[in-house]
């Protein structure tokens, strides 16, 4: 998942914005309500800013879901905090300590985005803000060439960063109580804790699509 994918996602957001703004919005619906909701869907994740020995990565699909709160501030403007369980990861291949390897990594994060919400209409919300992520679990399925025992030990001893910060933005389409959401996110912290690990370093990037129900 590279820059072209994220460019296409941005174009899709703009297109959706135009379609929603062109519709007549019922008068009884307004943007100054508090909402609580639950949502679930998928992440399509990969890495960017790769640093490793011949490190090449492909995208992975994982679960995303949790709760969100819509908190109005003033007319058309609000805050939307969310608490999500979010699976990310990648499939990679390369050389490490002179050995060829292939690796499938799945990471499970507790994601807490705090999103600034712009509400030009009751059906349409634009969101952007920072995200804090805590690494809850990491699973690696790895194959190595020669000297695989020593190389695998390096991956098992990897100094993974538990606390990661990123940026996330996207679009919510609100149809009565149903919320259809699209997000694009990027880590600004890499996965390596203190720089001592020799395994490939990277930052996560992901597209997220969910369907939710708000009350």
Which helix H or strand E contains 18, and what residues bound it? helix 3-21
Confidence check: pLDDT of 11 > 80: no
- The secondary structure of residue 208, as a DSSP letter, is E
pLDDT over 80 at 20, yes or no: no
If one compares 144 and 11, the residue with the highest pLDDT of the two is 144
In this predicted structure, the answer to whether residue 149 has a pLDDT above a threshold of 80 is no
Q: Half-sphere exposure of 167 toward its Cβ, with a 13 Å CA cutoff?
A: 2
- In CATH terms, the fold of domain 3-23+32-214 is Porin (2.40.160)
Three-state SS across 21-75?
Answer: HCCCCCCCCCCCCCEEEEEEEEEEEEEEEEECCCCEEECEEEEEEEEEEEEEEEC
In terms of pTM, does the model score above 0.85? Answer: no
Q: How does pLDDT run across 34-50, given as a tens digit for each residue?
A: 999 999 999 999 988 77
CA distances from 142 to 101, 109, 197 (A): 7, 21, 17
Domain boundaries, the chain: 3-23+32-214
């Amino acid at each position: 998942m590279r820059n072209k994918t994220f460019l296409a996602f941005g174009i899709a957001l703009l297109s959706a914005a135009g379609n929603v703004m062109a519709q007549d919005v019922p008068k009884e619906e307004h943007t100054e309500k508090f909402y609580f909701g639950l949502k679930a869907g998928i992440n399509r994740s990969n890495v960017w800013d790769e640093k490793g020995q011949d490190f090449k990565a492909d995208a992975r699909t994982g679960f995303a879901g949790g709760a969100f709160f819509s908190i109005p501030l003033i007319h058309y403007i609000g805050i939307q905090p969310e608490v999500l369980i979010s699976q990310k990861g990648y499939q990679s291949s390369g050389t490490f300590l002179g050995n060829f390897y292939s690796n499938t990594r799945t990471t499970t994060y507790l994601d807490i985005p705090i999103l600034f919400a712009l509400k030009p209409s009751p059906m349409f919300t634009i969101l952007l803000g920072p995200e804090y992520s805590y690494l809850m679990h990491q699973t690696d399925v790895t194959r190595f060439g020669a000297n695989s025992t020593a190389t695998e030990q390096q991956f098992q001893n990897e100094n993974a960063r538990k606390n990661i910060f990123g940026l996330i933005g996207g679009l919510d389409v609100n149809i009565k109580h149903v919320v259809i959401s699209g997000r694009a996110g990027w880590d600004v912290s890499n996965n390596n804790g203190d720089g001592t690990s020799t395994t490939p370093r990277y930052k996560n990037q992901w597209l997220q699509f969910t369907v939710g129900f708000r009350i």
